[in-house]
Amino acid sequence: MAVKTIIHGAGGRMGQRLIAVGSQDADIQLVGAVDSEHSSHLAKDAGELAGVGTLNLPVSSDYPDDCDAVIDFSVPEATDALVDQCVKRGWPLVFATTGLSDEQEQRIRSAAEVIPIVKAASMSATVNLTMKLSEIAGRTLKNHSSGVDVEIIERHHRFKEDAPSGTALAFGRIIGEAMGVSGETHGRSGRPGQRPRNEIGYHAVRTGDNPGEHTIVFGLLGETIELKVAASNRDCYATGAFTAAKWLEGKPAGLYDMQDVLGLR
Residues annotated catalytic, as ranges? 156, 160
102 is in an annotated binding site: no
Smallest separation, CB 105 to ligand LZUJQKHR (Å): 14
In Å, what is the CA distance from 228 to each residue of 155, 179, 205, 217? 11, 19, 15, 9
The Cβ of residue 60 has, within 10 Å, a number of other Cβ atoms equal to 19
In Å, what is the CA distance from 123 to each residue of 76, 98, 143, 180, 260? 17, 12, 31, 26, 11
Burial of 102 (0-12, 13-18, 19+ CB in 10 A): exposed
Helix (H) or strand (E) holding 83: helix 79-89
Residue list 198-227, contact with ligand LZUJQKHR (CB under 6 A): 212
Stretch that binds ligand LZUJQKHR, among 35-43, 106-114, 163-171, 189-197 (CB under 6 A): 163-171
Which option in ligand NDP, ligand LZUJQKHR, none does residue 92 bind, with CB closer than 5 to 8 A by kind? none
166 is in an annotated binding site: yes
Stretch that binds ligand LZUJQKHR, among 4-12, 107-115, 162-170, 245-253 (CB under 6 A): 162-170
54 is in an annotated binding site: no
Which option in ligand NDP, ligand LZUJQKHR, none does residue 39 bind, with CB closer than 5 to 8 A by kind? ligand NDP
215 is in an annotated binding site: no
Strand pairing category for 69-72 and 93-95: parallel
Which option in ligand NDP, ligand LZUJQKHR, none does residue 217 bind, with CB closer than 5 to 8 A by kind? none
CA distance 81 to 16: 21
Smallest separation, CB 253 to ligand NDP (Å): 21
Using CB under 6 A as the binding rule, whether residue 167 contacts ligand LZUJQKHR is answered as yes
Residues 6+ apart with CB under 8 A from 33: 6, 7, 10, 11, 15, 19, 46, 57, 58, 59, 60
Q: Which is nearer to ligand NDP, 82 or 148 (CB)?
A: 82
Q: Closest Cα partner for 57 from 82, 85, 34, 26?
A: 34
Q: Which is nearer to ligand LZUJQKHR, 32 or 166 (CB)?
A: 166
Using CB under 6 A as the binding rule, whether residue 121 contacts ligand LZUJQKHR is answered as yes
9 is in an annotated binding site: yes
DSSP 252: P
CA distance 228 to 201: 16
Q: Closest Cα partner for 22 from 45, 47, 1?
A: 47
Provide Rg for the chain, Cα atoms: 20
140 is in an annotated binding site: no
Which option in ligand LZUJQKHR, ligand NDP, none does residue 130 bind, with CB closer than 5 to 8 A by kind? none
Which option in ligand LZUJQKHR, ligand NDP, none does residue 104 bind, with CB closer than 5 to 8 A by kind? none
Annotated binding residues, written as ranges, equal 9-14, 35, 96-98, 120-123, 157, 166-167
